[in-house]
Amino acid sequence: MSNDTIIKVEGLSKKYILNKLAAEKSDLLVKNLLSSLRGLSQKKQTEEFYALKDVSFEIKQGDRVGIIGRNGAGKSTLLKILSRITPPTSGRIEYTGRMASLLEVGTGFHPDLSGRENIYLNGSILGMPKHEIDRKFDEIVAFAEVEKFLDTPVKRYSSGMYVRLAFAVAAHLDSDILIVDEVLAVGDAAFQKKCLGKMEDASQNSGKTILFVSHNMGQISTLCNKGILLNKGKVEREGNLQEIISQYFNSGSSEEVTCFKYDSQSDKEYYIKQIRILNNRKEECKNFAHNESISLEIEVHQNTKLNDVLIGIHFYDMYDKRIFTSQIVLSDKFYDADKHTFLVTVPHSLLTPNTYHFSVGIHIPNIHLIDEKQNVSSLYIYDNGSEFFKYQNVDYGSVFVNCDWKIN
């Protein structure tokens, strides 16, 4: 392991044996009932399931790594193995320094003990000696904001208070590696921002390495500088975080990416032959970061020359309300050819995270609709770390507007 590598994982696998009861001729519920009444034994089938399969990667000291993947990809299993909660089936892990983990709300807490007592209990479980807990105690309590309830049994705490106290203990441990699973989703927006700031400060100023699992891409984009994409227990990609987030949103879909293609000829004066949606790398996709521009590539053919012809795009929100329209004069583009491909780019940081669809039309204003493709395709915009990411799943409109704020 090189000097700047703090975690090295080689060929890591975790296998589980699944037992299944075979219901051969009757419903499983009926089969169970008959077995209990008659003392009959049922046939058992076993199946091997790999939560992780031959996972290998290296993490450098001070890296803030976002572990990304769909439900069942193996994210939590990986963190539990790294935290030594569960053993691997095969493979090896090397790491240097002290590791602290926060995988579930209140892990290591005793419900009948007070917040004060649980700080010492949880700190000891994480490997913090008493003199270190004494030194950090006031800082932990202030960060968790539970001063009034410090001597109250934690079984009376809300889930938010639980996670605040648990995170405060783990974050203030003098560890070299901090592992955090989805738990921040329990806290409110202000506390999530506070936790992200604490982890970023610990990484940048103290050199702490962080492994962070979340389905909130805004949180991951704000905190992390690298990513690991897991898919069905295997590492699909690692490295550049933004490319990994884009691949995460654009993989696993059986939907055809090319949103419109007309395979025949048309006798219309102008007609739309093909429409594609492209990202910044000129790749076809339908999922975009909020700070990534969206390009529509529109191929148009001409059969008859007309004057004052326009082509326009119309974007709609998920409730079919038109958000904006953009158009250009089409007819003066066809002097040298009977077909052209137009590339219209929707600027980045315009549309807020949500689902949208669009239409494309060719017309002579107020006179003649020549060709139109309605509801061509839907596309999805996700939050990639905007100032509003902490309000995940809250509707804050359809467009970002940079208003000019002044104090009089």
What does the chain come to in residues?
408
372: pLDDT strictly greater than 80: yes
Backbone dihedral region for residue 239 (phi beyond 0: left; psi -120 to 50: alpha; all else: beta):
left
Residue 408 counted as domain residue: no
Please tell me the predicted confidence (pLDDT) of residue 23: 43
Residues 208 and 268 in one domain: no
- Please count the other Cβ atoms lying within 10 Å of the Cβ belonging to residue 256: 11
Q: Are 202 and 178 in contact (CB under 8 A)?
A: yes
What does pTM read for this prediction?
0.68
Compute the mean pLDDT over every residue in the chain, rounded to the nearest whole number: 84
Kindly state whether residue 356 falls inside one of the protein's structural domains: yes
Clarify whether residues 77 and 147 are in a common domain: yes
Question: Looking at the domain assignment, is residue 37 inside a domain?
Answer: no
Worst-scoring range by mean pLDDT, 58-67, 85-94, 398-407? Answer: 398-407
Q: Quick check: is 220 in a domain?
A: yes
Say if residue 142's pLDDT is above 70: yes
According to the model, what pLDDT value does residue 26 have? 47
Separation CA 252–CA 268 (nearest Å): 38
49 burial level (CB within 10 Å; 0-12, 13-18, 19+)? exposed
pLDDT score for 392:
61
Measured between its terminal Cα atoms, the distance across the chain in Å is: 59
Average of pLDDT values for 282-293? Answer: 90
pLDDT in tens, 185-195: 666 677 777 88
Domain CATH number, residue 170: 3.40.50.300
Q: How many CB atoms lie within 10 A of CB 119?
A: 26
Instruction: Check if the beta carbon of residue 345 is closer than 8 Å to that of residue 392.
Output: no
Instruction: Give dist(CA 42, CA 21) in Å, integer.
Output: 7
- Are 123 and 266 members of one domain? no
Antiparallel, parallel or unpaired: β 209-213 and 177-180: parallel
The pLDDT, as a whole number, for residue 87 is: 92
Q: Which pLDDT score is estimated for 254?
A: 41
pLDDT in tens, 253-276: 444 555 678 877 889 999 999 999
Counting residues of the chain whose pLDDT is more than 90, the rounded percentage is 35
The pLDDT of residue 229 is above 70: yes
Which of 230, 250, 270 is the last residue before a domain boundary?
A: 250
Calpha distance 207→221 (Å, rounded)? 19
Shared domain for 225 and 306, answered yes or no, is no
Cα separation, 121 vs 133, in Å, equals 10
State the alpha helices, DSSP H only, in 173-227.
189-206, 217-223
Asked whether the beta carbons of 247 and 229 are under 8 A apart, the reply is yes
Residues 159 and 227 in one domain: yes
Highest-confidence range of 18-32, 121-135, 197-211, 304-318, by mean pLDDT?
304-318
Q: Are residues 271 and 246 in the same domain?
A: no
Same domain, 232 and 292: no
Domain that holds residue 79: 5-14+52-250
Q: How many domains does the chain have?
A: 2
Residue 206 shares a structural domain with residue 277: no
Tokens of 159: 């889930």
| Same domain membership, residue 318 and residue 358 | yes
**pLDDT tens column, 289-337:** 899 999 999 999 999 888 899 999 999 988 788 999 999 998 777 766 7
